[in-house]
């Protein structure tokens, strides 16, 4: 039976988890599972659950564990995650981590945790300067990855927007929620026996950080199935 692999990307909002997951999924041959993307898709659906989730996300709060847990457990059984998957933005609470621990161990999924360490001032500047295309979803930064025409998407010409959860006051609330609810998850994962590697995430180009993580995974898992070779 093929050994399944899991990479948990851990860190505060704006630490670069989504960017790293995008860069690594092709190189490692692992599915990218973003709870933030799954929740935003639910909000876009406009159903009752989506409206409830929208209110929570706009205030900077965390969506209830039961909902997030169910979505993730279903998602890791989809075809593209059969060999391995990268978790981006999950687990965010100790309760979520406890459920994930049971899921991973019951399925004998080998797991490593990468903690992207960043300065909070960098996080605030990074997120409050982020823009998104409401049509195609492309992300831009006003300082590091700006569009060719200011505030206009390079791909479809749509006017860029500031996501509700990227407004500065909401970013501050998200960081407070991270400190109180999410930061303790790292301690739980360590106590549960998972290898945790700290990677500096705010002072180097994303490609350099991705290369370091890729090398770390190659060392940890060797030639396990699910690890793509360049």
The count of other CB atoms within 10 Å of the CB of residue 79 is 6
* Active-site option among 4, 40, 42, 92: 92
pLDDT higher at 93 or 98: 98
Nearest to 14 by CA among 89, 87, 97, 69: 89
Is 195 annotated as catalytic? no
Indicate if 92 belongs to the active site: yes
Task: Clarify whether 163 is annotated catalytic.
Answer: yes
Q: What is the mean pLDDT of residues 92-110?
A: 93
Annotation marks residue 159 as catalytic: no
Q: What is the pLDDT of residue 223?
A: 55
H-run or E-run covering 117: strand 110-117
Out of 27, 110, 163, 211, the active site residue is 163
Q: Which class for 215: exposed (0-12), middle (13-18), buried (19 or more C-beta within 10 A)?
A: exposed
- The pTM for the full model equals 0.77
Q: Tell me the pLDDT tens digit for each residue of 35-94.
A: 878 888 778 888 877 787 788 877 777 788 888 888 888 889 989 998 899 999 899 889
Going along the chain from its start, the domains and CATH numbers come out as 5-126+181-221 (3.40.50.300)
């Amino acid at each position: 039976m093929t050994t399944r692999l899991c990479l948990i990307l851990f860190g505060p909002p704006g630490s670069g988890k989504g960017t790293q997951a995008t860069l690594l999924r092709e190189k490692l041959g692992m599915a990218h599972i973003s709870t933030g993307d799954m929740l935003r898709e639910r909000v876009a659906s406009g159903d009752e659950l989506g409206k409830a989730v929208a209110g929570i996300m706009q205030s900077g709060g965390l969506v209830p564990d039961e909902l997030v847990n169910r979505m993730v457990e279903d998602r890791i059984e989809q075809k593209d995650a059969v060999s391995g998957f990268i978790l981006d933005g999950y687990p965010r609470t100790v309760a979520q981590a406890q459920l994930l621990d049971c899921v991973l161990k019951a399925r004998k999924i080998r797991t490593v945790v990468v903690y992207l360490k960043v300065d909070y001032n960098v996080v605030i500047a990074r997120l409050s300067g982020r823009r998104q295309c409401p049509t195609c979803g492309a992300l831009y930064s006003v300082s590091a990855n700006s569009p060719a025409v200011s505030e206009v998407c390079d791909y479809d010409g749509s006017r860029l927007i500031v996501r509700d959860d990227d407004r500065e006051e909401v970013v501050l609330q998200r960081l407070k929620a991270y400190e109180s609810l999410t930061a303790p998850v790292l301690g739980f994962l360590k106590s549960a026996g998972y290898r945790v590697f700290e990677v500096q995430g705010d002072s180097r180009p994303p490609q350099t950080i991705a290369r370091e993580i890729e090398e770390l995974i190659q060392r940890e898992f060797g030639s396990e199935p699910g690890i793509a070779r360049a």
